[in-house]
């Protein structure tokens, strides 16, 4: 099969060994497009030995390329031209299903008279490079999509040339024009709001100091030529490199996000919250003022002898309801005071017994009315506390009042105190309606009522436990709620520092 001319061309032993050992795949084709010579590297690339090449068509070894390569071989025989840097992709017979990439060239092999007697071919596999390029392109696209979805604006800073490469989005945001742009660093500094400039400069100075980690997260305002002010959340990572034996900032990779809307919303929310607190405070004060004369009137009625039986009954109902109303208004006043940080404690040295006694004075009538059995067990000698007696009694009183409310008549309430690791532990437990596990985490939230229907009839607003928690924390203590679930009772445990 090997033509006479070609075999003479390759007869030189030196040339043959160069051919064999070359680190690129080499082949020679005859006019029919059959392999007449192949080297080791080509066998390795194609994954089949030399004897499975020789005398066969390209199609037999790399099926996908058969026709294309055959056409080129024919053309070279006709025109004698050289084809360079051809990129091919296909599968080999050895590993079907795996897409491979090659770069190749085809050239005429001539005899002494200059006639084309064969076509030579070189091949290098670039599958790995192509895969790496594809992975790079994929992550570039992924990044571009993420940047778009997150609405980020980007900049790359070159600290050696002091140039700032801005993304088109940053250029637009900064009102610098259209399209990506390279500007001196100063251009960005000039856009920073004068009131934020020093803080920004200080932060940048710290970030480009090679002693640090080169990372910065900062919120600053931009003041734009249109007069608009935009809040930007900026992230910057600076890289350092050794120049003349000294570590210096090299590049800065910066992504920023316009957070003006979020800032505004948060500010409006704070403002609304402040107004709500103010409203609650005013409302509670007004109500309190209105309640005072009613209270006085009832007091006069209480001292009036010889009221008809019907009037006495009505007076007692009014008295009960009024007490309830006064408590609600007092709670509301406390909420607004605590929210505005205006609660003043009057701390003194006292004992747990004093606190519980104080709380029971107020709570006893309701406990008796509900026919609950109350047991109180406190440590001997009495545990010593430092705190505000009224507020501490309010904590225990609220827990007792809840235990009374949320336990069906004839239940049990246990108040237990002990000293444990430098703390006074007080538990108020009942065998009442209990709390479902999913509701436990929010019983201390403001205005949270687990069972609205019940709470409504009992006149609660869902602020008692919130108040309790705030008052406990003002005393540097902690509170936790436990319940094994509906109808399994509840337990509230307060821990306060011992003196």
Q: Using CB under 6 A, list all residues that contact ligand ADP.
A: 402-403, 406, 430, 432-435, 443, 448-451, 455, 460-466, 490
Closest CA relative to residue 491, chosen from 418, 383, 406, 422: 406
57/392 with CB nearer ligand ADP: 392
69/332 with CB nearer ligand ADP: 332
Q: Which two tokens stand for residue 457?
A: 């009839």
Closest CA relative to residue 35, chosen from 146, 164, 123: 123
254/413 with CB nearer ligand ADP: 413
Residue 192 DSSP label:
B
**φ, ψ (nearest 5 deg) of residue 144:** -60, -40
Which residues touch 95 (CB under 8 Å, ≥6 apart)?
47
Please report how close the Cβ of residue 156 comes to ligand ADP at its closest, in angstroms. 54
**Residue 166: is it exposed, middle or buried by C-beta count within 10 angstroms (0-12/13-18/19+)?**
buried
Please report how close the Cβ of residue 455 comes to ligand ADP at its closest, in angstroms. 4
45/332 with CB nearer ligand ADP: 332
170/450 with CB nearer ligand ADP: 450
Per-state percent for the chain, helix, strand, coil, to nearest 5: 45, 25, 25
Please report how close the Cβ of residue 341 comes to ligand ADP at its closest, in angstroms. 21
CA trace torsion 441, 445, 447, 451 (10° rounding): 20
Half-sphere exposure of 97 (CA within 13 A, CB side): 0
DSSP one-letter string for 428-482: EEE-SS---TTTGGGTTSTT--SSHHHHHHHT--S-HHHHHHHHHHHTT-EEEEE
Please report how close the Cβ of residue 328 comes to ligand ADP at its closest, in angstroms. 9
Please report how close the Cβ of residue 290 comes to ligand ADP at its closest, in angstroms. 22
Please report how close the Cβ of residue 434 comes to ligand ADP at its closest, in angstroms. 6
87/487 with CB nearer ligand ADP: 487
Q: Which two tokens stand for residue 326?
A: 């006064």
Please report how close the Cβ of residue 464 comes to ligand ADP at its closest, in angstroms. 3
Please report how close the Cβ of residue 347 comes to ligand ADP at its closest, in angstroms. 25
218/325 with CB nearer ligand ADP: 325
Residue nearest to ligand ADP (CB): 460
Cα separation, 28 vs 8, whole angstroms = 13
354/448 with CB nearer ligand ADP: 448
β-bridge mates for residue 429, sequence order: 414, 491
């Amino acid at each position: 099969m090997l033509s006479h001319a070609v075999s003479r061309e390759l007869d030189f032993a030196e040339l043959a060994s160069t051919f064999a050992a070359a680190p690129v795949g080499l082949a020679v084709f005859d006019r029919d497009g059959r392999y007449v010579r192949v080297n080791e590297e080509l066998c390795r690339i194609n994954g089949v030995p030399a004897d499975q090449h020789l005398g066969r068509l390209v199609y037999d070894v790399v099926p996908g390329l058969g026709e294309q390569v055959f056409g080129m071989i024919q053309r070279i025989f006709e025109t004698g031209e050289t084809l360079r840097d051809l990129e091919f992709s296909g599968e080999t017979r050895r590993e079907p299903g795996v897409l491979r990439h090659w770069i190749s060239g085809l050239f005429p092999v001539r005899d002494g008279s200059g006639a084309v007697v064969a076509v030579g071919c070189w091949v290098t596999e670039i599958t790995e490079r192509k895969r790496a390029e594809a992975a790079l392109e994929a992550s570039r696209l992924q990044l571009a999509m993420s940047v778009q979805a997150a609405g980020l604006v980007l900049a790359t800073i070159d600290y050696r040339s002091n140039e700032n490469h801005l993304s088109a989005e940053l250029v637009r945001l900064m009102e610098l024009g259209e399209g990506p742009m390279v500007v001196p660093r100063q251009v960005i500094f000039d856009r920073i709001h004068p009131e934020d400039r020093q803080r920004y400069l200080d932060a940048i100075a710290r970030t480009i100091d090679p002693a640090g980690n080169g990372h910065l997260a900062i919120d600053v305002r931009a003041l734009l030529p249109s007069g608009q002010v935009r809040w930007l959340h900026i992230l910057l990572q600076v890289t350092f490199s050794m120049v003349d034996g000294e570590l210096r900032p090299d590049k800065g990779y910066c992504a920023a996000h316009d957070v003006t809307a979020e800032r505004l919303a948060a500010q409006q929310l704070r403002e609304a919250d402040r107004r709500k607190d103010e409203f609650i405070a005013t409302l509670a004060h007004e109500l309190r003022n209105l309640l005072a004369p009613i209270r006085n009137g009832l007091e006069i009625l209480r001292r009036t002898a010889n009221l008809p039986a019907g009037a006495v009954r009505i007076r007692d109902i009014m008295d009960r309801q009024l007490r309830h109303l006064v408590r609600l208004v007092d709670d509301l006043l406390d909420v607004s005071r605590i929210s505005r940080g205006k609660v003043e404690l009057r701390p003194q040295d006292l004992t747990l017994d004093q606190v519980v006694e104080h709380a029971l004075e107020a709570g006893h009538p309701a406990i008796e009315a509900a026919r609950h059995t109350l047991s109180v067990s406190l440590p001997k000698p009495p545990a010593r506390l430092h705190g505000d007696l009224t507020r501490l009694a309010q904590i225990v009183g609220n827990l007792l009042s809840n235990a009374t409310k949320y336990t069906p008549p004839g239940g049990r309430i246990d108040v237990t105190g002990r000293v444990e690791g430098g703390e006074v532990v007080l538990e108020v437990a009942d065998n009442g309606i209990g709390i479902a596990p999913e509701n436990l985490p929010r019983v201390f939230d403001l205005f949270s009522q687990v069972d609205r229907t019940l709470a409504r009839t009992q006149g609660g607003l869902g602020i008692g436990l919130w108040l309790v928690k705030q008052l406990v924390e003002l005393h540097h203590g902690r509170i936790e709620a436990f319940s094994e679930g509906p109808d399994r009772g509840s337990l509230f445990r307060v821990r306060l520092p011992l003196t």
